[in-house]
Amino acid sequence: MDFEFHNRICIKDATRGDFPKTVGVYAFINIGSGKIEYIGSATGKNGLRNRIWNQHLNSSSRFVLNPSEYVVP
């Protein structure tokens, strides 16, 4: 399956402000392999910003990411 991705953000360099407050779909992709590791959606009040930052990138996150991955909001 081929996807067209926009706005790739490297996780190790990401800040909360890098992510939009809009709703949408996002994917975590392994830079080395190019494979999609995770796909999620954000529908809440602050959309992608809150979902990605709160669920995946904060220090108490249940879903631990490898810094060699990047997210595509």
In tens digits, the chain (73 residues) has pLDDT values of 555 666 778 877 788 888 888 898 888 887 778 788 888 899 988 888 888 888 877 766 555 566 556 666 5
Give the pair of three-digit tokens for residue 22: 């809009």
Give the pair of three-digit tokens for residue 34: 């190019």
Question: Which stretches of the chain are DSSP H helices?
Answer: 47-52
Give the pair of three-digit tokens for residue 54: 């709160």
Give bridge partners of residue 51 from the DSSP assignment. none
pLDDT at 66: 60
Q: What pTM did the predictor assign?
A: 0.71
